């Protein structure tokens, strides 16, 4: 991180949107083990094991299995996940998701049918994030 100044700028403007940022894609027949970090979005269809620190959105597709410690801006899980999941903005669990472990995010949504075993922790973002829009706007004015 910190190597690509150009991308940091685009991250700030369009966080969570596919269009603005570069999206990495790990196909269904790919296994990645180790440490993944950096900006951009990531779509996982295969197997991931390890430590992930993403300055973008992570999408775990129905065919995917992710094990490990994940940090991202926002996370959508449709496949399998086990481990610890931390999102700065939000976590969404689709109905096909099977999740076990620890989830930490200011916003969490789950579709009916999603399987979740574990611990949930919800924190309001301490910094002046646009997530709590009404209050921050009043304070500014």
Contacts with another protein by CB under 8 A lie at 1, 3-4, 7, 21-40, 42-43, 45-46, 50, 55-56, 59, 61-63
Closer to another protein by CB, 24 or 82: give it: 24
Shortest distance in whole angstroms from residue 67 CB to another protein? 13
Closer to another protein by CB, 84 or 118: give it: 84
Shortest distance in whole angstroms from residue 13 CB to another protein? 14
Query: In this structure, what are the phi and psi dihedrals at residue 81, rounded to the nearest 5 degrees?
Result: -145, 135
Shortest distance in whole angstroms from residue 62 CB to another protein? 8
Shortest distance in whole angstroms from residue 69 CB to another protein? 13
Closer to another protein by CB, 57 or 103: give it: 57
Cα distance between residue 53 and residue 70, in whole Å: 6
Backbone CA torsion sign across 65, 54, 24, 89: positive
Query: In this structure, what are the phi and psi dihedrals at residue 113, rounded to the nearest 5 degrees?
Result: 105, -15
Here the contacts of 89-92 (C-beta below 8 Å, separation 24 or greater) are 89/15, 89/16, 89/129, 89/131
- The 3-state DSSP class for residue 74 equals strand
Closer to another protein by CB, 9 or 122: give it: 9
């Amino acid at each position: 991180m910190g190597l690509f100044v150009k991308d940091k700028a685009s991250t700030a403007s369009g966080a969570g949107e596919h269009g603005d940022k570069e999206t990495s894609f790990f196909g269904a027949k790919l296994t990645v083990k180790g440490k993944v970090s950096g900006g951009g979005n990531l779509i996982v269809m295969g197997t991931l094991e390890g430590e992930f620190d993403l300055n973008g959105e992570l999408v775990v597709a129905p065919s995917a299995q992710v094990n490990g410690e994940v940090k991202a801006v926002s996370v959508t899980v449709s496949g399998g996940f086990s481990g610890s999941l931390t999102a700065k903005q939000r976590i969404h669990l689709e109905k096909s998701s099977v999740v076990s472990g620890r989830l930490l995010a200011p916003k969490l949504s789950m579709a009916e049918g999603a399987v979740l075993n574990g611990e949930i922790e919800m924190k309001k973002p301490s910094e002046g994030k646009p997530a709590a829009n009404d209050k921050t706007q009043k304070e500014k004015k």
